[in-house]
Structure 1
Amino acid sequence: MDVYLLIPFGFILAGLIVLLVQKKSMEQDLAFVKAHPDSDEAAIKQKAIIRWIWSVVIWGVVSMILVVWFFMYV
């Protein structure tokens, strides 16, 4: 199997697994923030949710770049 094939699909698969594992936790954090919007813990969870969203966006952009790179050079 070609190494160039493993790099993008390995990155995409690993990111997808991490995304799905953390999704339930983020849903619970969001429910907590909605229930207790003024607590200090809610502020911490809000920051964690925002970091999670940014990391998912970055993962998606890098995944698209890797797929384009794969089709350009293979």
Structure 2
Amino acid sequence: MADQPRRPRTLADARTEAEAAFKKVTTKPVEAPPKKAAIPGAREQVTLRIDQDVLEHFQSEGPGWQDRINAALRKALGL
């Protein structure tokens, strides 16, 4: 191969090489899926958008409103 002349790099070749180099250093490695909770029945914190009147209804009954929402969702799902 030493006896073959090198062809000049084109703009497309340079761009392809630059994109490949950039991708190599910026791509995150594939991570394993998250593990299940170690504690059976553990709750998970989430952000949930619900209508203001629904929130006020559950909060009007005092502390424990999050548990009541959870119970209502379980009942609606038949769990």
- Larger RCO: 1 or 2 (CA < 8 Å, sep 6+): 1
TM-score, with length taken from structure 2: 0.28
Structure index of larger Rg: 2
TM-score, with length taken from structure 1: 0.29
Greater percentage in helix: 1
